[in-house]
A = this chain, B = another copy of it.
Amino acid sequence: MNVETLAIGTELLLGQIVNTNASDIAVRLAESGLTHMRQTVVGDNAERMESAIAHAVARSDALIITGGIGPTADDITRDAVAAVAGVPLFFDEQYAKDMRTRWERRARDFPESNLRQAYRPEGAIVIENPKGSAPGFRIEVDGCWVLALPGVPEEMWTMLDDQVMPFLRSLDGEESSVVVSRVLHTWGMSEAAVGELLDDLFHTSQNPTVAFLASAGVIKIRLTAHAATTDDAKALIEPLDVAVRSRLGDRVFGVDDQTIEQIIHTSLLERGWTIATAESATAGLVASRLTSIPGSSQTFRGSIGAYAADIKVSLLGVSASVIEERGIVSEDTALAMAHGARSLLGADVAVAVTGSAGPTALEVEAGTMCVAVVTPNGERARTFKMPGDRERVRTYTATAALHQVRLALSSP
């Protein structure tokens, strides 16, 4: 069943508010296995609203409209729907009377403009609005159900969940299915490289489908299955999940809402270990991410932001000869910083970062970053060449450092 959404409101086109209704409705449609084909936004303008409604009616099985059903003169959704349906507006005397009674019961003057809300296209059925005064309505137009809801999110949600979604699911009848998505998070490959590795799955797998989403260096792979039940959908996803993981190996680090910070925290807790950081170029970014999750005081000891070179020597005990011979940006310096932080802060694990975030190259090319991790079981160090501007270099380096910690914790 194909569904479109149409939001009415000049304030959306001026960017004064963000169209969160569209994504909220989108989530509900996906959960119910209804296909969301298109979102549109137009202003409070009769001609453009009618055109958008007419096109959607011609293409789709259902159209959910939000906004334009209030009491003011620019609320013209009912007029536009009536025009497309080719029916007059009908004035609901009983609704008008009830509305007046409700207002008077609260000892408030009834604004006559409210009466606009008692109109609806002839033949339309009311969708009650328990949280506001503007009722919604639904009407079938040329085989497409048009459902009009308020733009106010709190009013819209209740009506959507209690009345609209059950109605759409009942229409959808036996075709209906659930939609289940699983998102695999990967780190360490570009979107293009992940895409190449999974190219055949992307092209051949129809149910579940494969999609990619890049977000600050984390490439997410979404597997989405439609089936009669949640269990059936999960069973469809399972073999594809296995196939994707077998190709990407330890680059897959999390599923759905799992974050790298949470994974490290859990892994440390399991071992009864604590962690500390020593950071030059990132100056606390890694520490602030490790402490972003509730309960991090169980595993996080502290951090040294050793920005000035002399602090690396005086506080972290990096030997001046290592800095001189190997360079301030070197894996040896990073390792010495990690050892220093581990002992100074009394932690089991330490991660250290030294590098040049740019934009100007210092001793090394801007974007050169050395990360070291020391655990009770051993140590590892890596050098990265991070592209982009200073902010991007620092953010990606912090994420890369966290992944080095994850890999160090997962090795035997």
- With A305-B284, A392-B131, A394-B288: A13-B39 Cβ-Cβ less than 8 Å: yes
- With A15-B30, A39-B40, A394-B292: A389-B131 Cβ-Cβ less than 8 Å: yes
Q: Does A52 contact B (CB under 8 A)?
A: yes
Q: Does A242 contact B (CB under 8 A)?
A: no
Interface centre among A39, A112, A196, A346 (most CB of B within 10 A): A39
B18 pairs with A36, CB closer than 8 A:
no
Residues on the B chain within 8 Å of A293, using CB: 390
* A-B residue pairs in contact (CB < 8 Å), sample of 17: A11-B211, A16-B181, A17-B213, A18-B19, A22-B41, A73-B203, A74-B211, A108-B190, A111-B192, A131-B388, A284-B284, A287-B307, A288-B394, A300-B308, A302-B308, A302-B311, A303-B304
Chain A 371-412 near chain B by CB (<8 Å), digits 1 or 0: 000000000000001011111101000000000000000000
Interface stretch (choices A79-87, A139-147, A231-239, A275-283): A275-283
Chain A 133-171 near chain B by CB (<8 Å), digits 1 or 0: 000000000000000000010000000000000000000
Chain A 186-222 near chain B by CB (<8 Å), digits 1 or 0: 0000111101100100110000000111100000001
Q: Does A263 contact B (CB under 8 A)?
A: no
**Cα A22 to Cα B152 with chains together (Å):** 19
Number of interface residues of A (CB under 8 A): 108
Q: Does A184 contact B (CB under 8 A)?
A: no
Q: Nearest Cβ in chain B — how far from A246, in angstroms?
A: 20
Residues on the B chain within 8 Å of A297, using CB: 307-308
**Cα A283 to Cα B287 with chains together (Å):** 6
Q: Nearest Cβ in chain B — how far from A134, in angstroms?
A: 10
Residues of chain A at the chain B interface (Cβ within 8 Å): 10-20, 22-30, 36-44, 48, 52, 55, 70-74, 102, 106-109, 111-114, 131, 152, 181, 190-193, 195-196, 199, 202-203, 211-214, 222, 224, 277, 279, 281-288, 290-294, 296-297, 300-308, 310-311, 315, 344-346, 358-360, 367, 385, 387-392, 394
